[in-house]
Amino acid sequence: METTETVVGLRDVEQADLEVFLAYEHDPEAVRRSRFAPREREAFMAHWTAKVLGDPTVFVQTVVVDGEPAGNIVAWWDGERRFIGYWFGRPYWGRGIGTEALTVFLEREKVRPLYADPVAGNTGSIRLLEKCGFEATGTVRHGEDEHVVLVLGGSA
């Protein structure tokens, strides 16, 4: 049986990627797992234009799989802490793409410690972070949801 290798890469975000990211954010299963309420198009585009792409302290990359945008990984400051987050389209889940992409991203994002706080029930996200060296240090509540605080390269 002939197999083709999946090529995973990172690149700067292009304007056309935002439409893809918006669609991924509205995937019902992704919303359920992340407990993140999707934004309407106008609010989504305003957030990405001003707070992500428009903030020079934010480092964001499009994850590309076989030339197609598969999602994004973002690092930003929240007070004195540098956080990361990511969002992948459902066709790219469970294939090792997140691990490969986050590993490369972490080679480029040099700030440590680096924090992440996925919702406690999102076991796939927690596993991804742990595979990439993050360690759980506790929990925090955001609204009604408990989130796991994970740290790479230092303690909370």
125-137, pLDDT tens digit by residue? 999 999 999 999 9
Mean pLDDT of the chain: 93
Give CA–CA dist 40/52, Å, rounded.
Answer: 16
pLDDT digits (tens, 9 = 90+) for 24-38: 999 999 988 888 889
Residue 2, pLDDT > 70, answer no
Give CA–CA dist 120/139, Å, rounded.
Answer: 8
Residue 50, pLDDT > 80, answer yes
What number is the average pLDDT over the span 3-11? 83
pLDDT digits (tens, 9 = 90+) for 62-104: 999 999 999 999 999 999 999 999 999 999 999 999 999 999 9
What is the structure's pLDDT at 6? 83
Q: Strand pairing of 135-142 and 81-88?
A: unpaired
**In sequence order, what are the beta bridge partners of 139?**
148
What is the structure's pLDDT at 83? 98
Residue 155, pLDDT > 70, answer no
Residue 5, pLDDT > 80, answer no
Residue 1, pLDDT > 60, answer no
What number is the average pLDDT over the span 101-114? 97
SS3 call for 110: coil
Q: Which residue has the tokens 């993050």?
A: 134
What number is the average pLDDT over the span 10-25? 97
Q: Is the dihedral of CA 128, 136, 148, 134 positive or negative?
A: negative
SS3 call for 2: coil
